Chains A and B, each alone.
Chain A
Amino acid sequence: DTGVSQNPRHKITKRGQNVTFRCDPISEHNRLYWYRQTLGQGPEFLTYFQNEAQLEKSRLLSDRFSAERPKGSFSTLEIQRTEQGDSAMYLCASGDPRGSEKLFFGSGTQLSVL
């Protein structure tokens, strides 16, 4: 499978716990994005990497959220001290280096905070 891979697919956690999600983009894509989608809404942009550099962060990304892409390949998104309002689908997308605005999304990680 050469698409965008996200793990885990589902995560249930208790309020206050930390969680980490992983995204493996399409191998030749140097751009990687994290989006969040809640029920009945479209995806909302969280952050963007070009190679290992985090170039843009949304104001939606509070201090409890941190994203990394240490070697410019896979990325992780960590949420510390989870809150019930963090419950959402977390989507990762990658884009090719030719500068196209086309995004290829993974299947997402569905987070439920109890």
Chain B
Amino acid sequence: TQLLEQSPQFLSIQEGENLTVYCNSSSVFSSLQWYRQEPGEGPVLLVTVVTGGEVKKLKRLTFQFGDARKDSSLHITAAQPGDTGLYLCAGAGYGGSQGNLIFGKGTKLSVKP
């Protein structure tokens, strides 16, 4: 069974601080996606990483896919209150249907002004 472990589970920081959240697995994924979810809403896709070692930047967010395609990290620079939310990583396995994603439990981020 493929599992994705996210850490930390909760993170509360002050505006302006930097943070990194992690997504780890013992399984290899063909691609990995990061989503942000607000209470009462569906997840919104932030980025998809496909190549081992790949780094993608989205404004203050930096995403990295591990060389072995088993893990990923999300780094946020100078966090803002608007970054508050649940950050979910989701992996697409080999041989499964496209969109049959395996999600981690998420990291709940709170950025205080």
**Bound together:** yes
Show the binding face of A for B, using Cβ within 8 Å: 4, 31, 33, 40-45, 48, 55-56, 91, 93, 95, 99-108, 110
Partner of A48, one of B30, B35, B90, B100: B100
Sample of 22 A–B contacts (CB below 8 Å): A31-B98, A42-B105, A43-B88, A43-B90, A43-B101, A43-B103, A45-B100, A45-B102, A55-B97, A56-B97, A91-B43, A95-B98, A100-B98, A101-B30, A101-B48, A101-B98, A101-B99, A102-B33, A103-B45, A104-B45, A105-B42, A108-B41
* Interchain CA distance A102-B31 in the complex, whole Å: 10
Excluding A95-B99, A107-B41, 10 further A-B contacts by CB distance (< 8 Å) are A4-B42, A42-B104, A43-B90, A44-B103, A91-B42, A100-B98, A101-B48, A104-B45, A105-B35, A105-B42
User: In the assembled complex, which residues on chain A have CB atoms less than 8 Å from the CB atom of B48?
Assistant: 100-102
A102 vs B40: C-alpha distance when bound (angstroms): 21
Q: Which of chain B's residues has its CB closest to A94's CB?
A: B99
Count of A-B residue pairs with CB < 8 Å: 66
Size class of B's contact patch?
A: 20 to 34
Given contacts A101-B31, A101-B48, A102-B33, contact A43 B43 (CB under 8 A): yes
What residue of chain A has the Cβ atom nearest to residue B6's Cβ? A42
Query: Which chain A positions have C-beta within 8 A of B4?
Result: 42
B68 beta carbon closer than 8 Å to chain A: no
* Distance between Cα atoms of A44 and B43 in the complex (Å): 12
Q: Does B79 contact A (CB under 8 A)?
A: no
Cα separation A45 to B103 with both chains bound (whole Å): 9
Asked if A93 and B44 make an inter-chain contact with CB atoms under 8 angstroms apart, the answer reads no
Complex contacts, A110 vs chain B, CB 8 Å: 40
With CB as the reference atom, state the residue of chain B lying closest to A91.
B42
Does B74 lie at the interface of the complex (its beta carbon under 8 Å from any beta carbon of A)?
Answer: no
**B42, A106: Cβ atoms under 8 Å?**
yes
Name the interface residues of B7-53: CB closer than 8 Å to any CB of A. 30-31, 33, 35, 40-45, 48
Chain A residue nearest in CB terms to B98: A101
Contact B44 A48 (CB under 8 A): no
Name the residue in A4, A43, A104, A110 with the highest tally of chain B Cβ atoms < 10 Å from its Cβ.
A43
